Amino acid sequence: MKHNNIILKTIIIAMVALLITSCSSKKDTDKKLKTFVLKQPGIEMKIEYFGKDDTAFKQTIESKIVYDKFPAKGEALEKLKKEIKKISDQYKNLKGVEYKINFAKEGITEKTTMNYRKVEFEKIKKIPGMMFTEDPVNGVSLKKTIPMLEKQGFKEVK
């Protein structure tokens, strides 16, 4: 059960990270700014920010859970799958969000892409676990995001 809480917390942290940066300009939105990774037993996450200077306009999160390396087994793993499915269902049909999840025999892969110019923040912030430290419409610097990611164990890939 403890491992389920850690993984759910990690997923929620990634979602929060997905939402605490936003845009302030419409140029150079595809330049990769920063990449962060988190590796724990049975789970790997990669977060990439795209934009200009210190401002992200788009973000992607890729997650992979490998069942045979994952600490939770049996009923605990099934409960975790249900929780992930429940969270993933809330991303369906959200403007500015592309969400893909695959429950395969060997594990779960998940990819979320958020375009801050198109996302409907009023709808996103209603999803449980989503938090904002500032109004994302005004833009939030990566400098404010990076310490939170590092505190959760993410490492920057240079």
Write the pLDDT tens digit of every residue in 83-132. Answer: 888 888 888 888 888 989 998 989 999 998 888 777 777 787 777 656 55
Report the pLDDT value the prediction gives residue 4, as an integer from 0 to 100.
60
Report the pLDDT value the prediction gives residue 62, as an integer from 0 to 100.
96
Distances (CA, A) of 92 to 18, 50, 62, 66, 115: 16, 23, 17, 24, 15
Report the pLDDT value the prediction gives residue 66, as an integer from 0 to 100.
92
Q: Which residue has the higher pLDDT, 38 or 96?
A: 38
Q: How many residues does the chain have?
A: 158
Distances (CA, A) of 60 to 34, 35, 48, 124: 11, 10, 5, 15
| Predicted TM-score of the model (pTM) | 0.76
pLDDT above 50: residue 138: no
Domain limits for position 125: 2-157
From 96, 9, 93, select the one nearest 60 (Cα to Cα). 96
Q: Which residue has the higher pLDDT, 83 or 5?
A: 83
Sign of CA dihedral 8, 9, 10, 12: positive
Query: Total domain count for the chain?
Result: 1
Q: Residue 132: give its domain's CATH number.
A: 3.30.1830.10
The count of other CB atoms within 10 Å of the CB of residue 112 is 20
Could you give the strand order of the β-sheet that contains 55-66, starting from the edge strand earlier in sequence? Answer: 97-103, 107-115, 55-66, 43-52, 32-40, 155-157
Instruction: Report the distance separating Cα 107 and Cα 71, nearest Å.
Output: 13
- The DSSP secondary-structure symbol of 138 reads G
pLDDT digits (tens, 9 = 90+) for 47-91: 998 888 888 888 899 999 998 888 878 888 888 888 888 888 888
Report the pLDDT value the prediction gives residue 129, as an integer from 0 to 100.
58
Q: Between vectors from CA 17 to CA 127 and to CA 36, what angle results, nearest 5°?
A: 145
